[in-house]
Structure 1
Amino acid sequence: MPRPTTAQITYGSVTVVFSTLAMLLLSQTASGVGIAVIALAALGLGLLVAMTVPLPKQPAAPAARAVPVTTSAGERVPEQRDPVLADSVREPTR
């Protein structure tokens, strides 16, 4: 599981603080249950905001090349490619 970025942590934390304050001021609740419900709703909203912040794009992994293999007797073994990579990576035609 990837670690959260600084932007995700910041946006999520700011969302929790401001949404909690806004909901407490708008609802004018004074009971412990009401405050707990508002706090849980704010945490959920902060988590949602943090998870929807776009992640930085990762550079594409280089295509795997098949390397000929020789046995201990010096015989060449036919190239073997990973079937998953072979289907997803097409070599350009010349």
Structure 2
Amino acid sequence: MPRPTPAQLAYGSATVVFSTLAMLLLSQTRTGVGIVVIALVALGLGLLVALTAAPAPRGARGARRRAARTASTARSGDEASADSTPPRPVRIPRQSPRQRTHTAGTAVRERSR
């Protein structure tokens, strides 16, 4: 079972506190049994909120791990073909000082001597 996120803990805790206060104020109970029942109901409600609160979306790092895990399980051992490897990034060479553009947007090239 995964650990709860800080957001889930915060939502659950806030639910317990505010629902306890609201139920105590609305019911105006003064008996010990009534207070215990309200506290247990508030704890159950806080637990429900914490478990159903949507976990925070994972960043790009988590998405890459999931994609790599999915790709590795889709392939079966050594039977992976060369087509399954991702393409390499294309390197774009820097322009030499001779090929830099002029301020008007036209290419300026020096003639070699």
Common fold, TM-score beyond 0.5?
A: yes
1:54 aligns with 54
Structure 1 gaps, min length 5: 69-78, 80-90
Q: Aligned partners of 1:50, 1:56: CA distance in 2, in Å?
A: 13
Quote how far apart the aligned CAs of 1:43 are.
0.3
Letter in 1 for 2:42: A
Quote how far apart the aligned CAs of 1:57 are.
3.7
Quote how far apart the aligned CAs of 1:55 are.
1.4
TM-score under structure 1 length normalisation:
0.67
Quote how far apart the aligned CAs of 1:52 are.
1.2
Q: Aligned partners of 1:34, 1:28: CA distance in 2, in Å?
A: 9
Higher gyration radius (CA):
2
Instruction: Give the fraction of aligned pairs with identical amino acids, expressed as a percent.
Output: 67
Displaced runs of 4 or more, over 4 A:
none
Q: How many residues align?
A: 71
2:90 aligns with none
TM-score under structure 2 length normalisation:
0.56
2:76 aligns with 66
Deviations 1:3-56 (A, max 9, x none): 000000000000000000000011010111000000000001101111111113
Matching of residues 4-83 of structure 1 within 5 Å: 4-58=4-58, 59=63, 60-62=66-68, 63-64=71-72, 65-68=75-78, 79=79
Quote how far apart the aligned CAs of 1:67 are.
3.7
Q: Which protein is richer in strand relative to its size?
A: 1
Structure 2 gaps, min length 5: 85-113
Tell me how large the CA RMSD over aligned residues is.
Answer: 1.9
